[in-house]
Amino acid sequence: MRPHFMRAGVSYPPRDIVLLATKEEKELELWARNEGDFKFIRSYPIRKASGGPGPKLREGDKQVPEGIYRVTDLNPNSQFHLSMRLDYPNSYDLMRARKEGRTNPGGDIYIHGKAESTGCLAIGDIAVEELFVLVNAIGTEQVSVVIAPHDPRRKPLDGFASHLPLWAVELYADISREFARFPKDDI
């Protein structure tokens, strides 16, 4: 990983990282910083992500969630080589579920190895090894993960689409603001 960080002018290990995931493009971007602005480090192909555009609503819908998440745990004994657990459902997801009367929004969402997924982001074994070691070095509290249906830096997110819940407008505005902090022209 050091050569990627050197090219970006960020020392390894960095202080903070952000992972930007796009479902349509099937891409996971790694951004990092020590001080100041985040710099693009590299991207990884998402080898498998089930579901389509739209947020995860319930257990068993095989949908990758959309939103702003944290990595909470690292699992070196994963059936998918290695895995990093996300905090889905976070407080936003739980609030939305409660307001809609949904009692089981699901859980156990990971970024992991291999190329199989039923709601997680599978990035392959080599990619997950690199990120797992990095996250272990800096600590899970220094990692943010933003998952979008597609890259809002290329095409605006349509929170008004008919298949989405009404609150998707707010969610997609939040996701778009997060992505805007990481300009595509820096890549």
Catalytic residues: 112, 120
d(C-alpha 40, C-alpha 30), whole Å: 6
Residue 172's Cβ-count burial label (10 Å; 0-12, 13-18, 19+) is: buried
CA separation for the pair 66, 172 (Å, rounded): 9
Amino acid at 142: Q
| H-assigned helices in 80-124 | 91-100
